[in-house]
Amino acid sequence: MGELTAFDLQAHRGGAGLRTANTLRAFGHALEVGVSTLELDVQISNDRVAMVSHDRVLPDGEFVSWLPRVELPLDTLAEVIALVEERGADEVGLNIETKFDVVHPDEVAPRERFVEVVVATVQAADFVARTSIQCFDWDVLDLVRQAEPGLRLNVLTNTAYLEIGLPGASPWMAGVDIDAYDGDVVRAASDRGYTALSPSHSLITAEMVAQAHGAGLQVIPYTVDEPGVMEHLIGLGVDGLITNRPDVLRGILDARGLPLPRRYPAPGVTTPDS
């Protein structure tokens, strides 16, 4: 796992088990709980604004990418960054998942627009050094690297996205055929020069963690909410966890005597260690 202070407690969608996911209220509460990273999803509006949303379709059936910001009942990436700055949360980073969908490309913004808008937003806020971009789509990660080499690149992966044993390359993997690596996503991601591997927690083994660390990759599994699974993965030496329950993970880290992320309460709110 490396240095204990490096353990990355990531609030999935701001801590979706505690507050409404991907909202400023959720991100603000996560800062009060005390996390090292706010994980969030981004779609792009038709007037090129990074909107915080996991789904490409609104409840009324409209697509986020087809509407301007003013017509979207969503918060923006810029607003999340502003919230972090307002709280003085200098030690908190962002992990931004760009929700480009290779299966439904006509229902989301193009890859290039995702990259252009997200990178510009992060650069304008001087948040590059505090931000990682994660995606299931390796083409997006490659475009991000070209646009801003200072951003960390995290590979989201699950078995279905790899298409092990199927002819040709998975459409998610930028022309990389995983079978050329004998199904080994660690080797494939390392060869591409990515920063971290974020597999489904069900895929994590001690061997995978050791191999990834040997290849210079961090391992930050998603989405881990059960205390027993958290304990198990920490024991395997993962570098962080993405969780809907940052409060539970914080308690486990505390019980293990591991350093805890600082809390950043709202003005006028006190916390036990603020």
Distance of alpha carbon 258 from alpha carbon 180, whole angstroms: 40
Q: Which residue in this structure is represented by tokens 């690149």?
A: 153
Across the chain, what does the average pLDDT equal?
95
Q: Could you say which residues of the chain have pLDDT below 50?
A: 1-5, 274
> How high is the pLDDT of residue 1?
26
Is residue 215 assigned to a domain?
Answer: yes
With respect to residue 227, please indicate whether it lies within any of the assigned structural domains.
Answer: yes
Dihedral of CA atoms 233, 10, 225, 258 in degrees, nearest 10, equals 50
Is the Cβ–Cβ distance between 200 and 222 less than 8 Å? yes
**Residue 63 has which token pair?**
């697509």
Residue 271's pLDDT is what?
A: 66
Contact 30/263 with Cβ under 8 angstroms?
A: no
- Whose CA is closest to 76, among 148, 13, 22, 129? 22
The CATH number covering residue 141 comes to 3.20.20.190
The encoded tokens of residue 218 equal: 């961090």
- Give the structural domain span for 29: 4-255
Query: Rounded to an integer, what distance in angstroms lies between the CA atom of residue 63 and that of residue 45?
Result: 9
> What is d(CA 132, CA 129) in angstroms, rounded to the nearest whole number?
8
Task: Spell out the residues 6+ positions from residue 195 whose beta carbon is closer than 8 angstroms to its own.
Answer: 132, 152, 153, 154, 217, 218
Residue 105 lies in a domain: yes
Tokens, residue 41: 């999803």
Q: What is the CA radius of gyration of the chain?
A: 18
**Domains: count for the chain:** 1
Does residue 205 belong to any structural domain of this protein? yes
Burial of residue 13 (CB within 10 Å: 0-12, 13-18, 19+) is buried
Give 143's DSSP letter.
Answer: H
Alpha-carbon gap, residue 226 to 40, rounded angstroms: 20
Which stretch of DSSP H or E encloses residue 79? helix 77-86
Q: Identify the bridge partners of residue 134 per DSSP, sorted by sequence position.
A: 97, 154
Contact 21, 48 (CB under 8 A): no
**pLDDT score recorded for residue 272:** 65
Is 264 within a domain? Answer: no
Residue 171 lies in a domain: yes
Q: Would you say 177 and 152 are in contact if contact means Cβ atoms under 8 Å apart?
A: no
pLDDT at 267: 86
Q: Is the residue at 24 inside a domain?
A: yes
Domain-embedded: residue 267: no
At 82 the three-state DSSP class reads: helix
Report strand pairing: 196-199 vs 8-12: unpaired
